[in-house]
Chain A
Amino acid sequence: MIELPDDELDKLFRKSSEELDPTYEPDDWNDLRKRLDQQDGRTPAAWWRKWWPLGVLALLIPAGIVLYSYEGENGGKEEGGRNVDLKKDENGGTEERSSGRDVVEGKSGSTSEVVREPGGAAEGATKEDAIVDNGTPAVDKETAAVDNGNRRVESDNGVVDKGNAVVDKRNESVGNSGKVADNTKTNIGGKLKSGSKATGKSSSKSELNAAVVNGGKLLPRSRSKAGGVYLEPNRSKVEGGDGALSITNNANAKGGETSMPQATGQPIGASESVTKVDELGRTLISASALNSKALKWNALQLPGISEPVQELAEAPAPEKPPLPADDQPLMAIRFGYSPDLSTVGLKNFSKPGTAVSLLVEYSVLPRLFLQSGAVWSRKDYYAPASAYKLPKIPHYYPPEMTGVDGICNVLEVPINIRYDIKSGARSRWFASGGFSSYHMNSEKYKYYFVDENDPDIWYRSWKGKTGWYWLSHANVSVGYEYRISKKLSLLAEPSIRMPLKRVGYGKVNLITTGLWLSVRYTPVFK
């Protein structure tokens, strides 16, 4: 046992501890650097962990739009012709709101609710019945007339029956859709409330009677999806009007003037029912008076109604017209942005640079495009000393380096082939590959040495440009394209550029990855 006093022992170990100088182990730093990279999001995995929400968003938004469109298209298929009619009525209703209804309100001081009966024998019950039925949206209104209290009306005067025949001729599916709508019992009260501020007493009886007594002259009418049929302004030439929107005129002129059905895209000639309406003297009906009773249909005490009023489903929003899937672009222009993750050896990622592109695509085969253009990018990377070849300077032997930081502005000219793997009406999956030539516009390098204080260090950085490197990289990418219109689409395209030859002042093998987010414009189709 060594008999050392405490202070001597302490001195011995203190001295050893203070003078101990463990040798530097580069692996220790590498371990720490990995941890720092993970923490700062500089590894590919960490980068994706950091940016995946943006990537997911970039994919989910078009996917959501596609899904929405797909469901919309399916809905249209399921309900068949009904949708067609609904569209017509909706358009008609819109048009009518902007014209006839206002005028009627101006004339009568309140929203007119008129039942027009050619035979002049419109009973109160019939009128009220029709009013209630017309309180339902658009086509369903007529359907309700078919499905609900129609027999009662028929027994009274048979007028509505004729009207029904008209409806049926226009579209037989109306009746079916009405049934469907009856089952849904969607509340339409709110819609009615918002349809017009003028509520209250109906003047339909008096106006109808006047019309009937005066020889059954028909006032023009139009239908509203908000509920009811409204009088249109008297624009009949016969009656001193300008003739516009006159159903009679339209019927006689066979499409010579604009009418509601024509405005919705239905040719007048084909719309015999409209003509027939006039010949039969169909009744104009409005249900605006029910606005104040919107949510209490069943409590409405109307004479002649024995069955509960069915609340009908609200017409769906107009469906987006599908894009033609067989449109084959001949030429397209793409503008894109991508983060530029450049590295030497798929590690040592530093902060992402920026890349923008302007590309032109030309279709050489139905699914095959030739793609070229220009890509400007700023590449920010670190290269270990072993990957960077410092140009030799005569009679100069630079000290040992640890690495190089590089910031390069690069103009890239790619020549790629794009192949559409899968195409839908609005979406495409594609892959592309090709070669790129790099033009080093500007290069900045900062050198790091093992001994930063070495007097043999002549220079610590380099600035300049080294020009073209033809076909220096191979490009591979896959992408998803979503068409937002016939000519315009959005693309998300992860890509990688692999070095085929060394580039730049230090002749590095530069690898670049990124995610292109592009807008594609197709001005010319085949």
Chain B
Amino acid sequence: MPEYNSAVLQELLDGCLQKNRRSQELLYKQFYGYAMSICLRYTRSREEAKEILNDGFLKVFTKLDSFDAGRPFKTWLSRIMINTALDHYRQEVRRDVFDDVEVAEQVSVDETVISKLSHDELVGLIQRLTPAYRLVFSLSVIDGYTHEEIAEQLNISVGASKSNLSRAREKLREMLSKINIDDYDRVAR
């Protein structure tokens, strides 16, 4: 048995394969934070993230038999969550439901909460990016995708991917500049 899939996890996965609701619940609970943190940085709200999270877990439970137990479950789970988020993004693009790009750019950090800046708020800054910037930034910076892979996933050119990444960073800097530098230091430690 691979060491990165513990015996407990393996037991849970076996239960999930048998559609045991309790095993599914425990697996969900165990990986909720990890999966939700992925979903949050690909969406603009927690509600949207929850939708993707549950879509992703539904895929996990229904396609668990295709999981290679010789590989880390976390990696497989994160790939499913990211793919689900990308599917969601493509559907949104097709339906053209995104807000005007500038609307997101105009959102500013509430000055009163600067002192409480935390991981939540920093991820919140990512969520405030426009969908195109957010996805490229998350894929490239956090999840380690190359620009070629991003271009293929989002059906854009490599140049557009690089450009979006650059602009995403610029927007994040703008938003951070509104936050007290001391708070930034505290978070960055």
Using a CB–CB cutoff of 8 Å, the interface residues on chain A facing chain B are: 1-4, 6, 8-25, 28-29, 31-33, 35-36, 39-40, 348, 350, 382, 402-403, 405, 446, 448, 452
Contacts and interface: CB of A to CB of B under 8 A. Distances in A.
Contact of B119 (A16, A446, A452): A16
20 contacts: A1-B173, A2-B176, A8-B188, A9-B169, A9-B172, A10-B141, A12-B187, A13-B137, A13-B141, A17-B123, A22-B33, A24-B32, A28-B54, A29-B28, A35-B54, A36-B21, A40-B19, A350-B21, A403-B22, A446-B22
B80 interface: no
Given A4-B176, A20-B123, A382-B21, A13 B36 contact: no
Interface stretch (B56-64, B85-93, B99-107, B148-156): B56-64
B24 interface: yes
A40 B16 CA distance: 13
A382 B142 CA distance: 40
Given A33-B25, A36-B21, A36-B58, A16 B123 contact: yes
Contacts of A39: 58, 62
Interface string B1-29: 00000001000000000010110111011
B25 A402 contact: yes
A1 B46 CA distance: 28
Q: Which 9 A-B pairs have the closest CB atoms?
A: A16-B122, A16-B119, A21-B33, A22-B36, A20-B37, A20-B119, A32-B54, A1-B177, A10-B141
Contacts of B25: 29, 33, 402, 448
Contacts of A31: 50, 54
Nearest to B25: A29
Nearest to B34: A21
A515 to B, nearest CB: 23
A24 B29 contact: yes
A14 B169 CA distance: 13
Contact of B26 (A23, A25, A36, A448): A448
Interface of B: 8, 19, 21-22, 24-26, 28-29, 32-33, 36-37, 40-41, 46, 50, 53-54, 57-58, 61-62, 118-120, 122-123, 125-126, 137-138, 141-142, 169, 172-174, 176-177, 181, 184, 187-188
B141 A21 contact: no
B28 A22 contact: no
Given A20-B119, A350-B21, A452 B26 contact: yes
B50 A28 contact: yes
Contacts of B53: 28
B118 to A, nearest CB: 8
A40 B174 CA distance: 49
Contacts of A12: 122, 184, 187-188
A33 B141 contact: no
Contacts of A452: 8, 26
Given A13-B142, A29-B28, A29-B29, 13 more contacts: A3-B173, A4-B176, A12-B122, A13-B125, A18-B37, A20-B37, A21-B37, A29-B25, A32-B28, A39-B62, A382-B22, A405-B22, A448-B26
B65 to A, nearest CB: 15
B42 to A, nearest CB: 10
B21 A33 contact: yes
